[in-house]
Amino acid sequence: MTWHILGAGSLGSLWAARLARRGLPVRLVLRDRPRLAAYEAVGGLTLVEQGTERHYPIPAELPSSAGPISRLLVACKAYDAESAVQPLLPRLAPGAELILLQNGLGSQDAVALRLPHARCVLASSTEGAFREADFRVVFAGHGFTWLGDPRQPAAPAWLDDLEQAGIPHGWTPDILSRLWRKLALNCAINPLTVLYGCRNGGLAEHPAEVSVLCAELAELLQRCGQPDAAEGLHEEVLRVIQATAANYSSMYQDVANGRRTEISYLLGHACASAARHRLSLPHLDSLHDRLRAHLAQRGLPVT
């Protein structure tokens, strides 16, 4: 069965190249005619791994192309996922499965609501990749991808394809807990690195602020029915700050490069969930306000 991959950015290209080089059928779905023409001009994807580059002439098509789609990897940013899937709806075959690679929470529900009859598998990945140029991606950090379906605990048969492609992964009945935990770690670290203009390690100079945010985030996770995700959150945040002290967070990098952030699906989602549960989290709300003001000042979207 063909893997249709929507979005030939960092993660989409990383998955596409690894599946294709094991001989698995892959097709990229690009946003429009100019992007398809640009892709055809370079003749494929280039993946750079440990300084070595390889070219993958993977076929590509438009959302409006003919032919059914049975398996779709959605590899767009969270804010693009719903609108990017929309034109593909008429092509989805009965029993189609989608794998949603988006960080944070909120975009997955938005996509799933449009597809009551398709299976949506959620992913949470710690792999790292970035675009060096159009259709040229660097595999920057080995990691692991958790997959799961909150509505259907049975693992899909296509996990064998991931095994074959050497994509490190695991199936979990509790993918929501993993996504919430990652969201909480992100909320405790990334916005502060943007506001203080520092590497992750710079947060060691703001222990009280980190601590109070972790306490509020743990309260939120409990209230959202995710007690496991709340367990030991503060300790893990401190560990991550230490272990990744030299790194700039993904949100820091987005802002530094003038790119839109996924704020609405991270801190924005946390604050909206707290409001829905009538939970007052003043430090988290204030962080959200400060971050939005900071983005607005730089002419970046605040959602």
User: What is the contact surface with ligand NAP in residues (CB under 6 A)?
Assistant: 6-12, 29-31, 35, 75-78, 80, 83-84, 101-103, 125, 127-129, 131, 262
Q: How many CA atoms within 13 Å lie on the side-chain side of 264?
A: 13
CB of 265 to ligand NAP, least distance (A): 7
CB of 82 to ligand NAP, least distance (A): 10
Is 77 tagged catalytic? Answer: no
Structure-token pair, residue 228: 């496991």
- Give 141 or 232: the residue with its C-beta nearer to ligand NAP: 141
Determine the angle formed by the axes of helices 282-297 and 267-276, rounding to 10 degrees. 140
- C-alpha–C-alpha distance, residues 129 and 133, integer Å: 12
- Give 42 or 212: the residue with its C-beta nearer to ligand NAP: 42
Contact 188, 213 (CB under 8 A): yes
- Give 128 or 156: the residue with its C-beta nearer to ligand NAP: 128
CB of 225 to ligand NAP, least distance (A): 23
Closest residue (Cβ) to ligand NAP? 9
What's the one-letter identity of residue 75? A
- C-alpha–C-alpha distance, residues 155 and 169, integer Å: 12
- What single DSSP character describes residue 165? H
3-class secondary structure, 139: strand
CB of 250 to ligand NAP, least distance (A): 7
Contact 109, 30 (CB under 8 A): no
- Give 6 or 184: the residue with its C-beta nearer to ligand NAP: 6
Catalytic residue among 18, 77, 182, 288: 182
Determine the angle formed by the axes of helices 207-223 and 233-243, rounding to 10 degrees. 130
Residues designated as active site: 182
